[in-house]
Amino acid sequence: MNNMYCPNCGAEVSEKAVICVKCGVALKPNNLANGETQPKTWLVESILVTIFCCLPFGIAAIVNAANVGSRFGSGDIEGAQRASKQAGKWTKVAFWIGVVWVALYLLFIFAFGGLAMLAAW
Ligand SMILES: [Zn+2]
C-alpha cells in the first residue's frame, strides 16, 4: 500500500482519497502536487495541420506537442510550458502557410478559369 500524507495536517491518507479525512482539505493527484495543470499540448491541432497542410512545420509542432506530455509527466513543468509554446507556434505557422497556400491555389484556379472564359469569347 502506497499511502500519502496530507500536505495540510500530515495525517496518513489513502492514495485514492480526494479529501483528507482528518482536516477535510482537498487532496490532489501526485502529478498535480504544485497545483500545476498540464499546458495545452496542441497535439490534435498539430496533427491536423500536418495532414492538411505543411509536413515539415507540422512535424516540428507534433514533436513539441509530444514533449509537453512527457515533460509534464516527469515533473518538468517549465519544460512542458516551453514545449507547449513551441508546439503552438509551429502549429500556427503551419496553419497560416496552409491558408496562404489554399488562397494561392484558388487564385490560380480563378485566374485560369477567367483566361479560359476570355479565350472562349
Ligand atoms: Zn489533513
CA of 10 to the centre of ligand 1 (A): 6
**Residue 71 pLDDT:** 93
> SS3 letters for 30-98?
HHHCCCCCCCCCCHHHHHHHHHHCCHHHHHHHHHHHHHHHHHHHCCCHHHHHHHHHHHHHHHHHHHHHH
One domain, residues 53 and 103:
yes
One domain, residues 102 and 82:
yes
CA of 36 to the centre of ligand 1 (A): 20
**Residue 103 pLDDT:** 92
One domain, residues 23 and 53:
no
CA of 29 to the centre of ligand 1 (A): 15
CA of 75 to the centre of ligand 1 (A): 24
One domain, residues 58 and 74:
yes
Domain total for the chain? Answer: 2
**Residue 2 pLDDT:** 64
pLDDT per position as a tens digit, 44-65: 999 999 988 878 899 999 999 9
pLDDT < 50 regions, the chain:
31-32
One domain, residues 48 and 17:
no
One domain, residues 16 and 71:
no
Domain of 20, in residue numbers: 1-35
**Residue 34 pLDDT:** 54
One domain, residues 97 and 65:
yes
| Residue 97: partners with Cβ closer than 8 Å, 6 or more residues away | 53, 54, 57
One domain, residues 29 and 41:
no
Rounded-to-integer distance, Cα 87 and Cα 58, Å: 9
Rounded-to-integer distance, Cα 56 and Cα 52, Å: 12
**Residue 31 pLDDT:** 43
One domain, residues 21 and 61:
no
